[in-house]
Structure 1
Amino acid sequence: MLEVMSPFQYSKCCSQVKAHGVIFHHRDIHGDLKNMPQEQRPWFQKWVWWNGESPANTNRIPASYRLDSDIKVPYGSLVEVTSEDKIFELPKKDKLVCWVVSNWNPNYKRVQVFNELSRHIKVEAYGRHFSRYLDNEDYSKTLSSCKFYLAFENSIYKDYATEKLFNAMKLGAVPVVLGPSRDNYEQFIPRDSFIHVDDFSSTEELAKKLSFLDQNNEEYMRYFNWRENFKVQGWWFGLEHACRSCDYIRRNKGYTTFHNLNKWFWG
């Protein structure tokens, strides 16, 4: 049995908890740890630290997306298509480059790259900063109508590729990524399924590449070759973390203990 609860909930019922595993969500842990259990962990129980944010957006305190986690829960993945899946058809396109952003910070690299890129090619930008809010339905329609989507992460860390990437791939837009290295991205998606900002010496060169692909459909369609064998699978927030944790605890009876979480996650 696995329990998902806040530290406060656990502290109230610790003596009665019979679960073999308990997940603690990082954002629910107080900075001074005062809401964490003070009693010793039961000998039969495993505690799981769950976090989906990058180190830059995670408060330091004494199940992550990281690929070197014991329990890996990325923001999405590619799975093999089956005979029951529909054959992929590219959605109709009426926009070249799109970007949806809710967290605007002029100090972020992604904002700086966007500003530079916009000088060389038209980018349809949405979100609070641009007073162009999209609900869930409009979001999907908009991404599907774009040839390229700027899957720019708010911070650059190992393995940190979020739903921005997987949503674009699922909805039929070629992701232009800004995040960890190309080699890191290629650990979980095909090398010819995306365009990396770092592949170009300047944003002007990137803009030229996007314009070239816009005018050369055969070259553009090569970015969808992966669709012949794979499809995107996303996760329900929280549910997949619990399922994978439960499966891991069932299969692994030993213990792995981290005495310095700060060193492992923040470096």
Structure 2
Amino acid sequence: MPSQPSKWSHQRTIIFGCIVLCFPVILYVYYKPDIKLPSFNISSMIGPQPCPKCLQPQELHPNCSNREQRNDTQKIQVAAVNNEPDTILLIWFWPFGFKFGDSCSDYNITRCRLTDDRSLYNKAHGILFHHRDIHSVSNLPKEPRPWFQKWVWFNMESPANSGQIPELNHLINLTCSYRLDSHIPVQYGYLVPRTSKQETFKLPAKDKLVCWIVSNWGGHQRRVQFYNEFKKHITVNCYGAGCNHRISNEEYTTIMQSCKFYLSFENSVYKDYVTEKLYAPLIHGAVPVVLGPPRENYEHLVPADSFIHIDDFPNPKELAEKLLYLTNTMTSI
């Protein structure tokens, strides 16, 4: 899901709050300097990196861990880290170039320091690299990596929208992504219990049956193929660049609130890849009709009866018939 500025601004607090909250704990769990673990794989356990096997000892990569090389320089590094009261997380690239709050206090978290000051490289406990901004290893740090430091690979896009960079295989210690098996899993949204002091949710007035707001449009996408057949059997109010009907942020909210059902169709289908497309309609009082990973994957995130999955129906026609039936028989929606 290629992020746009408006979408990213809504997600940044959740995403970075989770990162800065989880990183000190993860660092403690995986801080075992004598361990050698396998190369980069999003589903594997990754620790301090061995040097690439293709390199001879005299050609050691400057960002490899090698305990035999530890010397007085390392002792100085240890002393500097021990004197640092906070966990330092250095953001090497701001995601998509959009900078926002760089203080841990912005996320109500203490004993940490979130910074983009690269002069702190040798003190930083962790370096956060946003995958979509790496492009090649040439814009990664040139200085040798301190032996205590973890490099964190961060990506909230699906594999379909994330080009591979093979050179990262021997450089990454920890993963941070939407995948639930990441070392630092970060979701696009979450549910919290309603307190007794909060007002009861009032369902907005509805004058549209089915809506879809879409910008990323491709004939190869499963969601576009499904939509083209689905709209033959039911009226769909389609907005966004994909439907040649651009809207503002204010219009987005108004449209979402006016719909009974919303097509929460992901642009690509991968395990755990469930974005704000699921949570936005729930916030605004529409029922999400989801296209993405299997139903079981969604049920790990929200109640099973809070959404409709297209896989529950053999074809788009029967889904359309079900939505028409629901809107004609259930006054509550």
Measured against the shorter chain, the TM-score band is 0.7 to 0.9
Residue aligning to 1:192 = 305
Residue aligning to 1:53 = 157
Letter in 2 for 1:6: F
Residue aligning to 1:3 = 90
Residue aligning to 1:233 = none
Correspondence list, 1:1-267, <5 A: 1-6=88-93, 13=118, 16-30=121-135, 32-62=136-166, 63-217=176-330
Q: Secondary structure at the match of 2:191?
A: strand
Q: Secondary structure at the match of 1:106?
A: coil
Question: Residue deviations 1:184-233, cap 9 Å, x none?
Answer: 11111110000000000111100011001101225x65xxxxxxxxxxxx
Q: Secondary structure at the match of 1:34?
A: helix
Kept after mapping to 1: 8 A contact 2:122/2:146: no
For the residues of structure 2 that align with 1:59 and 1:189, how far apart are their CA atoms? 30
Larger radius of gyration: 2
For the residues of structure 1 that align with 2:271 and 2:121, how far apart are their CA atoms? 39
For the residues of structure 2 that align with 1:209 and 1:70, how far apart are their CA atoms? 40
Cα drift, residue 13 of structure 1: 4.0
Distance 1:186 1:104, change over 3 A: same
Kept after mapping to 1: 8 A contact 2:90/2:118: no
Letter in 1 for 2:128: I
Letter in 2 for 1:18: K
Cα drift, residue 129 of structure 1: 3.1
For the residues of structure 2 that align with 1:129 and 1:171, how far apart are their CA atoms? 22
Q: Secondary structure at the match of 1:192?
A: helix
Kept after mapping to 1: 8 A contact 2:211/2:256: yes
Cα drift, residue 37 of structure 1: 2.1
Aligned residues: 217
Q: Secondary structure at the match of 1:86?
A: coil
For the residues of structure 2 that align with 1:138 and 1:13, how far apart are their CA atoms? 40
Which ranges of 4 or more aligned residues in structure 1 deviate by more than 3 Å?
12-17
**More relative contact order in 1 or in 2 (CA 8 Å, sep 6+)?**
1
Identity of aligned residues (%): 55
Distance 1:4 1:84, change over 3 A: farther
5+ residue gaps, structure 2:
1-87, 95-114, 167-175
Cα drift, residue 130 of structure 1: 2.3
Query: Relative to structure 2, which stretch is displaced further, 79-88 or 178-187?
Result: 79-88
Query: Relative to structure 2, which stretch is displaced further, 38-47 or 172-181?
Result: 38-47
Q: Secondary structure at the match of 2:187?
A: coil
